[in-house]
Structure 1
Amino acid sequence: MSPPLRVVFAGTPDFAASSLAALLQSRHSVVAVYTQPDRPAGRGRKLTASPVKALALEHDLPVLQPQSLKAPETQAELAGLEADIMVVVAYGLILPQAVLDIPPLGCLNVHASLLPRWRGAAPIQRAIEAGDSESGVTIMQMDAGLDTGDMLLVRHTPIADTTTGGELHDTLAALGGEAIVEALDALAGPGLPATPQPETGVTYAAKLSKAEAELNFRQPAKTLAAKIRAFNPWPVAWCAHGKERLRLLMATASARRNGEAPHPPGTLLEHAPDALRIACGAQGTEVLSVTRAQLPGGKPLAVRDLLNARSGTLAPGLLLGQATEETS
């Protein structure tokens, strides 16, 4: 068997921690971990270590947290680790060309999409929002571009019409860990063929923002349902409910009942036993069926339980989505 590789790992959030955990269970040696500086978090805004840092410290690994990788002394420190390869997963810092050139085998990235589709910051959520039928992870040889490097290994997974952003995140995090270990095993031995990304099919996954989480019920039911699932658990899709917010966590498009007339978009129709039915589409002729939601001050609940507890606040005929200053 070929000798194990010396690996420097760079990553920050939970998604990256899954790949680090897989590497720690592999035959390869993680010699140091780079992660973002500690950030304020929680109500007390206390400085908090990233999930990657927490895992690295549990395993007594050296942790480095530079503000940037551009300084010559920072690059010299990385070179001094004498790693064979650098694995980068949702690190959050740009790697200059000088850094990409340091490890003899270069820098690999675990990217949560089937490149070249969904380059950029939020590939998991954008794939669901766009109605894609599948996603996956790509192990990519990094270059100076934005997710433009050659592909070394690709793994696929389906997206169901009930898949949420959180569920796809967890699936791809585990898949990414398996794939990066497989890639390193191959690179330590016979190697992996590098496939340039095709020039067609390139899309960009813009960073998520809270501002885009408000729903517009004039959109088609299928579009709204995909957005609700994509934005669960963050930033969470919502609509105005009087002067407060109703958060919507799971929904599907459904058909109007026989004889049911169109209603203004955002109108609550007669409930199903387990769903809020909301008129939507430009003419109010489509129906969005919401099966999980959260009222202000309450917990996320299946709509069946929500209606049992608070049916009076969600009466048919109520018009949702009329934002006020308090909810905008």
Structure 2
Amino acid sequence: MRVAFAGTPEFARAALERLPAAGFTVPLVLTQPDRPAGRGMKLQPSPVKQFALERAIPVAQPRSLRLDGKFPDEAAAARDALLEARPDVLVVAAYGLILPQWVLDLPRLGCLNIHASLLPRWRGAAPIHRAIEAGDAETGVTIMQMDAGLDTGDMLLEERQPIAPDDTTASLHDKLAALGGRLIVEALELAACGGFQPVKQPEQGVTYAHKIEKAEAAVDWSLPADAIERRIRAFDPFPGAAGQLRGETVKLWKARAVMRGRGSVEPGTIVALDEHGVGVACGEGRLELTELQRPGGKRLAAADFLRGFPLEPGERFTP
């Protein structure tokens, strides 16, 4: 089977790596254009492109696939590359571009998407972050037959993944990336023998995982402690939850929620300090910050952080 692939970040690379290993021919990879990164802001290839180059797989990097859009020449070149690749199926994982109808129709088996949620919950751009933020007990991976809607296609395979109490987006991402790579191989093996049994998504239970914005990093201390703790885990590694303290933006990487009802202290006020954490009053309960980071510094356990940045009870994180 000839399997073209469209994806960009590490989540997608984990799936792409599984395809040649499982015996599938990958004649073409589509990925986002190189982006500036690092201190020197030099152009860097995506993780998917890096793997494709290592395996000498042809790569196309159009800024759009719309033949009537802003970059019609790039879209036409990508279409020519796909036609030449003659894929039986296109696997899509966190690609970052909308696929127009001509792409969906081109492979004889259509386009299969690796989506990091249990559809129809958390359709959209940030399903891992939003599942943790919402306090979901589990998530998973769905292999979906793509259609013109936003993550609305028929489901082909699904597997659940518990969300651990200490899971961050980083740790859960790695679990789901490995799961997605295994499931897409199973799906392609089913496709090879005509074994698909598509299931329509339920109409009830639809939620949308909106893109994470940098502005969400600022902690709202009026929220309950457990909600803030979930957001800290959800925003690790990006954008990183943060609070303003003495005019500095302090990143908050780990915390424990201590729920003891609504106190009389202004939310954001430091109420306790010891080697185990920095206790901060919240709208409900208290949050013990156990790993923090100053601008330009490293992530530090609370005790090490306090040695370099001594605090006093009564100081307050400001909006």
Q: In structure 1, how many angstroms separate the alpha carbons of the residues matched to 2:161 and 2:277?
A: 28
Q: Is the 8 A contact 1:113 1:136 kept in 2?
A: yes
Specify the alignment match of 1:229 in structure 2.
233
Name which of 208, 213, 218 aligns with 1:209: 213
Kindly report which structure 2 residues correspond to 1:79-228, keeping only aligned pairs within 5 A, or say none.
Answer: 79-228=83-232
What secondary structure does 2:273 align onto?
coil
List per-residue Cα deviations over 1:190-248 (Å, max 9, x = no partner). 41210000000001111111111101111111110000000011100001001111110
Root-mean-square deviation (CA, aligned residues, Å) is 1.6
What secondary structure does 1:29 align onto?
coil
Q: In structure 1, how many angstroms separate the alpha carbons of the residues matched to 2:263 and 2:285?
A: 10
Specify the alignment match of 1:266 in structure 2.
268
Specify the alignment match of 1:276 in structure 2.
278
List per-residue Cα deviations over 1:50-97 (Å, max 9, x = no partner). 110011000111111122222355324312211110000111111111
| Greater CA drift, 154-163 or 119-128 | 154-163
Change (3 A) 1:295 1:160: same
Change (3 A) 1:262 1:30: same
Q: In structure 2, how many angstroms separate the alpha carbons of the residues matched to 1:35 and 1:161?
A: 34
| Greater CA drift, 46-55 or 291-300 | 291-300
Specify the alignment match of 1:326 in structure 2.
none
Specify the alignment match of 2:291 in structure 1.
292
**One-letter amino acid of the counterpart of residue 268, structure 1:** I
Which runs of no fewer than 5 residues in structure 2 stay unpaired? 68-75
Specify the alignment match of 2:59 in structure 1.
63
Specify the alignment match of 1:49 in structure 2.
45
Q: Normalised by the size of structure 2, how large is the TM-score?
A: 0.93
Q: In structure 1, how many angstroms separate the alpha carbons of the residues matched to 2:29 and 2:60?
A: 6
Which runs of no fewer than 5 residues in structure 1 stay unpaired? 324-328
Specify the alignment match of 1:316 in structure 2.
313
Q: Is the 8 A contact 1:35 1:65 kept in 2?
A: yes
Identity within the alignment, %: 53
After the TM superposition, list the runs of 4 or more consecutive aligned residues in structure 1 that deviate by more than 6 angstroms. none
Q: Normalised by the size of structure 1, how large is the TM-score?
A: 0.91
Aligned length: 311
Change (3 A) 1:311 1:66: closer
